């Protein structure tokens, strides 16, 4: 699941990433840009995962709480 989330964010980022040009980059610069994008996507995906787990936990906690009340 995380893999797909990452992939979609990634494609979205690639689309917005500017490709306009005036001067040639040294080969290292391209690598810097790419790793920053990938790292950005990975961090966003990680945050979504953590956020999702929190929500899941909250719901579980809520239902569990209700169950206990019914008992």
Interface residues with another protein (CB under 8 A)? 3, 6-7, 10, 14, 18-40, 42-43, 46
Question: In whole angstroms, how close is the CB of 48 to another protein at the nearest point?
Answer: 13
Q: Could you tell me if 9 and 41 are in contact, meaning their C-beta atoms sit under 8 angstroms apart?
A: yes
> Whose Cβ is closer to another protein: residue 15's or residue 71's?
15
> Whose Cβ is closer to another protein: residue 27's or residue 69's?
27
Question: In whole angstroms, how close is the CB of 33 to another protein at the nearest point?
Answer: 5
User: Please, what is the angle between helix 2-16 and helix 27-70, to 10°?
Assistant: 140
Contacts of 6 (CB under 8 A, 6+ apart): 41, 42, 45
């Amino acid at each position: 699941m995380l893999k797909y989330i990452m992939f979609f964010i990634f494609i979205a980022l690639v689309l917005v990433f500017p490709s306009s040009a005036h001067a040639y980059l040294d080969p290292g610069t391209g690598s810097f840009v790419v790793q920053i994008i990938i790292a950005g996507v990975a961090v966003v995906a990680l945050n979504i995962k953590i956020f999702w787990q929190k929500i899941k936990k909250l719901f579980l906690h809520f239902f569990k709480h209700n169950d206990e009340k019914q008992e």
